[in-house]
Amino acid sequence: MDLKAIADTLVEACRAENETSLLENHYHPDAVSVEAADYSGMGRETKGLDGIKGKHAWWDANFEMHSSDVQGPFLHGDDRFAVIFEVDCTEKATGNRMPMKEVAIYHVADGKIVREEFFGTG
C-alpha cells in the first residue's frame, strides 16, 4: 500500500471513530507511538502494536468523545504524512470537559506505519 492510500485510510477510519480497526493491517508490529506529554502516567513513548492497542483502550476507558474533526492527510515526500485532530471530550474520572487539538506525524516504511508522533496545544 502506498503512502496516500495508507494516509487516506487512516483519516477515514479516524473520522468514523474506528481507528483501532486498522492497527493490525496498517501498523508495523514494532511501531512506536510518541505523545507530546505523559498524559496517562505510562510514559510518552509506547513501543509495539500491543502497546499502541493499550493506548487506544486507555483513551476509550477514560474519555467520552462529544465531537471530533479530522483534517488531512497532508503528505510529505514518500514516507510521512500529517493529520490535525480537534476533539471535544470529557474526562470520565473528573467530569472535566476539554477541547483538545493536536498534529500527528505518521512515518511509513514498507507499506506500514512505523512511527506516530503527536504534538499538542498544551
**Does residue 122 carry a pLDDT above 80?**
no
CA distance 53 to 9: 18
pLDDT, average across residues 60-75: 96
Beta bridge partners of 53: none
- Domain with 74 in it: what CATH number? 3.10.450.50
**Does residue 75 carry a pLDDT above 90?**
yes
Cα 7 from chain centre:
12
The pairing of strands 112-120 and 27-34 is parallel
CA distance 21 to 115: 17
For 82-121, the pLDDT digits (tens) are 999 999 999 999 999 999 999 999 999 999 999 999 999 8
Domain of 26 in residue numbering reads as 3-120
- In degrees and rounded to multiples of 5, residue 39 shows phi and psi of -75, -30
- In the chain, the number of structural domains is 1
The pTM of the full predicted model, rounded to 2 decimals, is 0.93
